[in-house]
Amino acid sequence: MAIMTDRENGVISLQTRRTTYQMKVDQFGVLLHTYYGGRIGSDDMSYQICTLDRGMSGNPYEAGKTRRDYSLDVLPQEYSCWGTGDYRPSALKVRNADGSRAVELRVVDYRVEEGKYTLPGLPAVYAEEREAQSLFVRLADRYTGVEVELQYGVLPELDVITRAAKITNRGGCAVVLEKAASLCIDWQFERYDWITFHGRHCMERIPTRQALRHGVQSVGSTRGGSSHNYNPFTILCEPSATETAGACCGFSFLYSGDFLMEAEVDQVDQTRLVCGIHPDSFAWTLEPGESFQTPEVLFTYTDGGLGQLSRTLHRVIREHVCRGEWAHKRRPVLINNWEATYFDFTGDKLVQIAREAASLGVELFVMDDGWFGKRDDDNSGLGDWFPNEKKLGCTLRELGERINAAGMKFGIWVEPEAVSEDSDLYRAHPDWVVQIPGRRPCLARNQLILDFSRREVQEYIIERVSAILSSAPISYVKWDFNRSISDNFTHSLDPRHQGEFSHRYVLGLYRVLETLTQTFPHVLFEGCSAGGGRFDAGMLYYTPQIWCSDNTDAINRLDIQYGTSFGYPISTVGAHVSAVPNHQTGCSAPLSARGCAAMAGTFGFELDVTKLTSAEKEEIRGQIATFREHYDLIQNGDYYRLAAPGEGCAVWEFAARDGGEALVQAVFTRVEGNPVPFHVHLQGLRAEGRYRVGVTDPDPVQGSKISKLWFPRECVVSGAALERGGLTLPLPRREYQVWQVRLTLCGEDGQ
């Protein structure tokens, strides 16, 4: 069994193949957290708790005058509360009817069910009944009737656990939730580094690693989305942890709105992590009998290092978060016209690009911004979701059919959550925007946000997008969100409930996406928020891939995609080959480097192929052929980070789960005179297997023929040698040199 309960001693153990997560109901009904780490069985780990009279740390009344050594301020807890003696970051803060903010939870009962619980209206890890078990622990405050059901899902074969909480008001008066986190976890003795992923527009998810210190450290967002600035994914790991060894815990919040992850090392060197909706933009009123459901956190532990942690997260997101027809179906190589034309295009120009791209092997043409309403720049027309047939020179259906006739599937860009002031929609429904009455709003790109917390706005967007998707042969939608939310206010709620706006907005967004993706299951939806501003596991539940960044510079993308890979699989990373000089940085990386970087994602193009030379077109044909040949390996294989971009050469590896083949890709980010050889240790191979190793330089020196090199020594090498002895890359011959190394398992005769 994945979940074992010892009711006599109050011990509850969640077991996976390699890990144990344990809690205990103590003599006062407090739910203690006693262990999370490598698998230990069902031993009661509460023996590790050291009680001592800590000055200025009070004692619950029921502990009596003789138990000064019992304090919630230092005990490791499963779901901490504010206002009753625990002064560390709390999971729950409630404003009661009398104005007090105290809540005191004690365990009432618990139960185990087969299968994985679901969260109506929210994204959640899913599993077959045989693949998971769920635990529900009910706690209650005897004074106010506030009740919390802690929800745990266990996927034992994947070493994954999930957590959420359902909070119900069983009392007779309304209460206000001022903080309602999804996860609280304490470690008594571990000393951890904290890895977070910061950034900005066009430079997202850059990893930062630092030792956790005394005091509260946090990352989060109050921008209405998970943001470019901080990602709702974090890692705690022991200081000695590397890619291949060391204890690591990864936590991914399945939520696309305001969030907060906070950690503290307390007065006795214990570590606490709390994760949930950001309380700064949250206040939820619960009338008697009403409930509030928090979003879900998925997490995993390994002592196999950061690489193993990532591969576990990759697998659970690919197989148990991404849903629908496109979760596992081979996705088409696409071309987007944005950087080729921006707003300046006609239907004929788009068809011209599509025809040329089709001749190179591209399979999907995506028409970006500017095809609807009065939309020749980003100052007007947003929200008027009616095709501009004068600009296109035809109907949307006719354009789609012309694209199809060229041998391409047809896709479109939309940004349904925003509206221009200069638009018919805004003029008709000014009360539909997020804006505080009597105040002039904050603008971004001269646009406002539609109030997705309102049912009528949701219904309008569902109707408009559905009409568009039904009107033409559309097989792909890029769903964009190009500004942060401010001026939080909704006309649909009274002043007492305005604190509910931010979360209701996210729930409305999820409802719209759920309706559209279920109504149009054959359409591939890609998420986007000015690039990677809403790259989170919550969005991946609805859109199985997300545009990784608006920065298409291949060398910058190596850093962005490196950071992204810690928590998210390659199959979710939207990545394109763009023109040079790059439109964001002015950098002129060779086509080989641009193609290599884009292959570490969903792979596509964002340039005007009609302006390419014949040699460049031939090289693109070769890139597409290479990507197709290795598609399953790249998208579904195990991913290994062999060297970070900052080391002078970014190197990564895709390996089949059975070790039958592998593909190593390398891009030199720095070239020096009299260079030092660059050496990496491969992973994921069969130690006893023998591999034929072929090194390819995909950047032709002359003409369009791809030159090939073989190892100057033995070309058949054992997996053990490649893993333990390693592989020395050929020296770079030019700036941003690319090498691709293919490894194929030989037969018993070495052939």
Element (H, E) at 732: none
Q: Give a yes or no: residue 265 inside a domain.
A: yes
Q: Return d(Cα 122, Cα 195) in angstroms, integer.
A: 26
Of the pLDDT bands very low, low, confident and very high (cuts 50, 70, 90), residue 476 is very high
Phi and psi at residue 256, to the nearest 5°: -115, 15
* The domain boundary residue, chosen from 262, 286, 320: 320
Is 719 within the bounds of a domain?
A: yes
Domain CATH code at residue 707: 2.60.40.1180
What SS3 state is found at 200? strand
Q: Read out DSSP for 12-40?
A: EEEE-SSEEEEEEE-TTS-EEEEEEEE--
List of residues 6+ apart from 630 with CB closer than 8 A: 599, 654, 663
DSSP string, 156-185: GGGTEEEEEEEEEE-SSS-EEEEEEEEEEE
Give CA–CA dist 627/433, Å, rounded.
43
Q: Is 110 helix (H, G, I), strand (E, B) or coil?
A: strand
User: Does residue 661 fall inside a structural domain?
Assistant: yes
| DSSP element (H, E) containing 474 | strand 474-479
Q: Is the pLDDT of residue 705 over 50?
A: no
Over residues 373-418, the pLDDT tens digits come to: 999 999 999 999 999 999 999 999 999 999 999 999 999 999 999 9
CA distance 188 to 50: 9
Please tell me the distance from the alpha carbon of residue 536 to that of residue 230, in angstroms, as a whole number: 11
Instruction: Please list the active-site residues.
Output: 536, 616
| Nearest of 249, 234, 233, 272 to residue 18 by alpha carbon | 249
Query: Containing H/E element for 130?
Result: none
Which of the listed residues 288, 320, 352 is the one where a domain comes to its end? 320
- Residue 694's nearest CA partner among 719, 675, 711 is 711
User: Which range marks the domain in which residue 44 is found?
Assistant: 3-320
Whether 472 is in a domain gets the answer no
Per-residue confidence at 615, pLDDT binned at 50, 70, 90? very high
23 part of a folded domain:
yes
- The share of the chain scoring above pLDDT 90, in percent, equals 92
Asked if the model's pLDDT at residue 97 lies above 60, the reply is yes
How far is 35 from 12, CA to CA, in rounded Å? 11
DSSP state of 713: S
Under 8 Å between Cβ of 244 and 252: no
Tokens of 533: 């501003």
pLDDT attached to residue 703? 35
DSSP letter for 550, please: S
- Identify which of 148, 153, 29 has the alpha carbon closest to the alpha carbon of residue 91: 148
Has residue 713 got a pLDDT over 50?
Answer: no
Instruction: Note the pLDDT of residue 733.
Output: 83
Q: Quick one: tokens of 742?
A: 């293919």
pLDDT digits over 8-45, tens only?
999 999 999 999 999 999 999 999 999 999 999 889 99
Contact 138, 78 (CB under 8 A): no
Size (the chain), residues: 751
Preceding omega of 581 cis (within 30 degrees of 0): yes
CB atoms within 10 A of CB 204: 29
- pLDDT band of residue 605 (cuts 50, 70, 90) is very high
Tell whether the model's pLDDT for residue 706 goes beyond 80. Answer: no
d(CA 219, CA 262): 7
| Residue pLDDT, tens place only, 639-669 | 999 999 999 999 999 999 999 999 999 999 9
Sequence-distant (6+) residues with CB within 8 A of 707 are 697, 700, 701
- Report the domain count for the chain: 2
Residue pair 137/149 in contact (Cβ under 8 Å)? The answer is yes
Residue from 458, 461, 456, 434 nearest 447 by CA = 434
| Structure confidence at residue 63 as a pLDDT band (50, 70, 90) | confident
Which residues are registered as beta bridge partners of 444?
447
pLDDT computed for residue 695 by the predictor? 86
**Dist. CA 531–CA 482, nearest whole Å:** 8
Instruction: Report if residue 401 sits inside a domain.
Output: no
- Evaluate whether 61 touches 43 at the Cβ level (below 8 Å): no
Q: Round to whole Å and give the CA distance between 539 and 547.
A: 11
Give the integer Cα–Cα distance in Å for 216 and 88: 9
Checking DSSP bridges between strand 160-169 and strand 146-155, what pairing results, if any? antiparallel
Q: Compute how many other C-beta atoms are within 10 angstroms of the C-beta atom of residue 95.
A: 18
Question: For the residues 361-380, what does the mean pLDDT come to?
Answer: 97
Give the Cα separation of 691 and 694 in Å (integer): 9
Query: Span 125-129, mean pLDDT?
Result: 97
| pTM, 2 dp | 0.96
The confidence band for 699, taking pLDDT boundaries of 50, 70 and 90, is low
Q: What was the pLDDT predicted at 751?
A: 53
pLDDT in tens, 181-235: 999 999 999 999 999 999 999 999 999 999 999 999 999 999 999 999 999 999 9
In a domain, 644, yes or no: yes
Query: Roughly what angle, to the nearest 10 degrees, separates helices 554-564 and 591-599?
Result: 20
- Report the CATH number at residue 149: 2.70.98.60
Q: Is the pLDDT of residue 727 over 80?
A: yes
Q: Does the CA dihedral 320-321-326-329 come out positive or negative?
A: negative
What spatial distance separates the first Cα and last Cα of the chain, rounded to whole Å? 45
- The DSSP code sequence of 384-422 is --SB-HHHHTS-HHHHHHHHHHTT-EEEEEE-TTEEESB
- Which of the four pLDDT bands, split at 50, 70 and 90, describes residue 701? very low
Q: Is residue 624 part of a domain?
A: no
Decide: 465 and 518 in contact? Cβ < 8 Å. no
Domain boundary among 303, 320, 337: 320
Q: Indicate the pairing of strand 679-680 with strand 727-728.
A: antiparallel
Task: Report helix, strand or coil for 296.
Answer: strand
Helix (H) or strand (E) holding 557: helix 554-564
Rounded CA-CA distance 320/673 in Å is 48
Determine contact, residues 659/685, Cβ cutoff 8 Å: yes
**How many C-beta atoms surround the C-beta of residue 603 within 10 A?**
27
Tally the C-alpha atoms within 13 A of residue 660's C-alpha that lie toward its C-beta.
Answer: 8
* CA angle, residues 528, 610, 370, in degrees to nearest 5: 40
d(CA 681, CA 655): 13
